[in-house]
Amino acid sequence: MLREVWLNIRVEKIDTHEGVMIKALLDSGAMGMFMDRQTAARHGFKLQKLERPLIVKNVNGTMNSRGAITYQVECNVFYKGHMERMRMNVCDLGKTEMILGMPWLAAHNPEINWETGEVKMTRCPPLYGKKSKRKERVRMTATEEEEKIVRWAIDDKEDWEREEEMEEDYRKIEEMVPKKFLK
């Protein structure tokens, strides 16, 4: 039985467009998008200081021993023809290079086969670019609701006060994921 879903994604620096392949964990329990501090340093990503630190709490509600998140990285992310610019919080993730959490999952609503780990990006909002066979970016207009979801995924969701929508998103996930994988 599959317990984790990983994506091999290309992450590109904004300034030089130099890219690297990174293994990203999909984690519906994570409330953001994260890049490991050592991964960012090893590949030379430019760290941007946050205006205010983000407090990190463990699953049990206690404060994380590694402290607050004080930096972020902006990068381009590519996966199976899907492309987007993301801001990722930088913190110590141990052996995990990157985590794509609930905001990313809610914004993209990927098709996930929980038995094989296959992830298809068939339901992405049009705001995210797909590249044609000629490598030209297709420009599309997002609906107002899609733009709200994307802004929420990129920005600190606490500022958007969307607790009700977060609860609804969790209910949707519980409906999509087979019950045998929820426990």
Q: What CATH number should be reported for the domain holding residue 79?
A: 2.40.70.10
Residue 141 has pLDDT above 50, yes or no: no
Q: Quick one: which of 51, 55, 72, 76 has its CA closest to 64?
A: 55
Model confidence at 155, pLDDT cuts 50, 70, 90, reads low
pTM, 2 dp:
0.68
Which range of residues forms the domain containing residue 70?
A: 5-181
Which pLDDT belongs to residue 167? 59
C-alpha triplet 57, 61, 66: angle, nearest 5°: 30
How do residues 59-118 score in pLDDT, each as one tens digit? 677 877 778 899 999 999 999 888 899 999 999 888 999 999 999 999 889 999 888 889
Is residue 20 helix, strand or coil? strand
Give how many domains the chain has, as a whole number: 1
In the chain, DSSP finds a helix count (H) and a strand count (E) of 4, 10
Report pLDDT for 134. 36
**Total residues found in the chain within this entry:** 183
pLDDT tens per residue across span 13-68: 999 999 999 999 999 888 899 999 999 999 999 999 999 998 887 767 787 777 88
Residue 151: per-residue pLDDT: 53
State mean pLDDT over 122-150. Answer: 53
Q: What is the pLDDT of residue 66?
A: 79
**Is residue 2 predicted with pLDDT exceeding 90?**
no
Which of 83, 153, 157, 152 is closest to 121 using CA atoms? 83
In contact, 12 and 78? CB cutoff 8 Å? yes
* % helix, strand, coil for the chain, step of 5: 25, 35, 40
Q: Are strands 119-120 and 47-54 parallel, antiparallel or unpaired?
A: unpaired
C-alpha distances in angstroms, 71 versus 54, 90, 94?
9, 6, 17
For residue range 156-175, what is the model confidence (pLDDT) as tens digits? 444 444 455 555 655 666 67
Q: Determine the pLDDT at residue 152.
A: 52
- Residue 123: its pLDDT value, please? 84
